[in-house]
Amino acid sequence: MRFSTFLSAAFVLLSLGLHASAHGYPLRVTVDGTEYAGANGPSASSDSPMREVSSNSPVTDPTSNDIICGLDAAQASSSASANPGSTLQFFWGTISGGNWFHNVGPIITYMAACSDDCSSFTPDDSTEWFKIDQQGESTDGDSSTWAQAELLDGSPATVTIPNGLKAGNYLVRHEIISLQNSVSVGGTEYYPSCLQVTVGGNDNGEPNETVHFPGAYSETDPGILGDFYTSGYTYVFPGGSVATISGSGSSSGSSSSSSSDGPTSSTRSSSPTSSTATSSASVPAASSSSSLAASPSAVPTALLAVDTPGSSSSSSPSPTNTSSAVDATGSGSCRSKKRSLRRRRATTAARANGTSSEVPSRRSMKMHRRRAAHAVSF
């Protein structure tokens, strides 16, 4: 009897030991490939950007302040450097350094801006947290496909900092919720952890919705209380939706991108930059007569050159002046030509009648021209 009692007690102690050793926290974390040791575990570092917790045991009361960053979480002395779009990898393990043990339940990650340097910031129930990631079952209703189960072989939980996020100091609240005992109120186990990061860049995006801890979870939420080994159901994540980062005008032109972040139009404007750039050659003439009236260059050169006595080529009328004398029917050009012929004949007759070598006066020249013109007309 005593021996069986001893064996029973030993089995209980062993079970408790195994259960305790199955609890844990992130043993290390990488940010874009740069590794940082955790603040707990066999390889813990006092300079870790992770906040140290007092125990590897879970938080079981979601209304306590321990739900924020873990049991008695202490501020870290440093922060990891990151950027919008940076990849975070959390390597979870047990107190002894072994791989994570549980396999049922979601992995959820939040962020909150520190009011100043995170090493002096203490979050409380007024701190605004926004969800950036949630991982549940890869196949709804199949309890063998929880993301948490992928940690059993030492694989990390991978999270991405949202693109467009405003630069500054942040806490990353990365958490495992274990649901193996969640069939009764108070049986759910929460393993929150907090990583301090400084997000660089020139973006200014902010989340569209936030939650508070405590306050985001209730012990009776559908994603916290229930039999999660039952097949055929769809898991409902607690703590609100994954936030959207808006107003992310990045100076680097990201997706924002903008990473402007909008689709590029496939339509390009083929319109000219200015309507005055249209070539005059592309405008058709209304008629040949109007073209002559509007364009001096269209008037034949022979009609523009008027040969008068004592005149030279330099005294020829300019196209601008001549064009004003040409009417829409072209009759002005004919009159000009006739007058030119008359003047030439008058000049020839005057020279024939006057044998003197002296230059005739202007009056005599006019008389000669009139007589010659009169003779020609008959």
Say yes or no: 315 and 227 in one domain.
no
Token output for 93: 């393990």
203 pLDDT band (50/70/90 cuts)? Answer: very high
278 occurs within a structural domain: no
CA-to-CA dists, residue 258 to 9, 121, 132, 254, 266, angstroms: 63, 31, 18, 4, 18
Say yes or no: 316 and 220 in one domain.
no
Mean pLDDT of 12-27: 61
Residue 138, domain extent: 22-246
Say yes or no: 233 and 302 in one domain.
no
pLDDT higher than 80, residue 264: no
This model's pTM is above 0.85: no
Mean pLDDT of 89-103: 96
Mean pLDDT of 128-136: 98
Give the pLDDT score at 233. Answer: 84
* Whether the Cβ atoms of residue 367 and residue 350 lie closer than 8 Å to each other: no
pLDDT higher than 90, residue 238: yes
Say yes or no: 89 and 168 in one domain.
yes
* Number of independent structural domains in the chain: 2
Taking Cα atoms as reference points, which of 204, 107, 193 lies closest to residue 158? Answer: 107
Element spanning 332, H or E: helix 331-353
Say yes or no: 117 and 242 in one domain.
yes
- Of the chain, the end-to-end C-alpha distance in Å amounts to 165
265 occurs within a structural domain: no
CA distance 205 to 257: 10
* Whether the Cβ atoms of residue 322 and residue 300 lie closer than 8 Å to each other: no
